[in-house]
Amino acid sequence: MIDQVTVFLPNEPGALAGVAALLGGMGIQMHTLMVADTADYGIVRIICDTPNAAARALAEHGYRAAATQVSALEVDNVPGGLAQMLTKLADAQLNVEYAYCASIGDRTFDIVKLTGEPVALRLKQAGLRELAPAELYVPDAE
């Protein structure tokens, strides 16, 4: 599993910019960003290089933020690739609470919040491998 930063923000101009500025000012690199909204607030999900430090810093600055464990699963970047992965999850009795896609370099993966314990064992039985945090980031070019 990997840690994702989840932040609840008011739906108002500049709220997301404040989060990005705070994390950027701390030298925290965001690798993925997903924003969903409700009538009253936005839910921001971030994969970054230091998720626990990011969540603490955001909380210290008054944001409602926490690190949440999710799975990162590589997906074949072909028509039907996502359907194949989702079918394997369903067959393993793993429920997808939410998911979002990302690509870094030439890799395509889904960040997935799953329920159905034990998640790691069920993923393995389904023939799916969770990516480690280091596999999600493209190293800086020198």
Q: pTM for the complete prediction?
A: 0.85
Structure tokens at 131: 């990516």
Position with higher pLDDT, 59 vs 107: 59
Query: What is the C-alpha to C-alpha distance for residues 142 and 131, in angstroms, rounded to an integer?
Result: 24
Bridge partners, 103 (sequence order) = 108
Tell me phi and psi for residue 65, to 5 degrees.
Answer: -140, 150
pLDDT for the residue numbered 15:
94
**Residues 22-45: what's their mean pLDDT?**
92
Rounded percentage of the chain residues whose pLDDT exceeds 70 = 96
pLDDT for the residue numbered 44:
96
pLDDT for the residue numbered 137:
67
Give the chain's domains with CATH numbers.
Answer: 2-67 (3.30.2130.10), 71-136 (3.30.2130.10)
Query: What is the C-alpha to C-alpha distance for residues 33 and 45, in angstroms, rounded to an integer?
Result: 6
* Residue count of the chain: 142
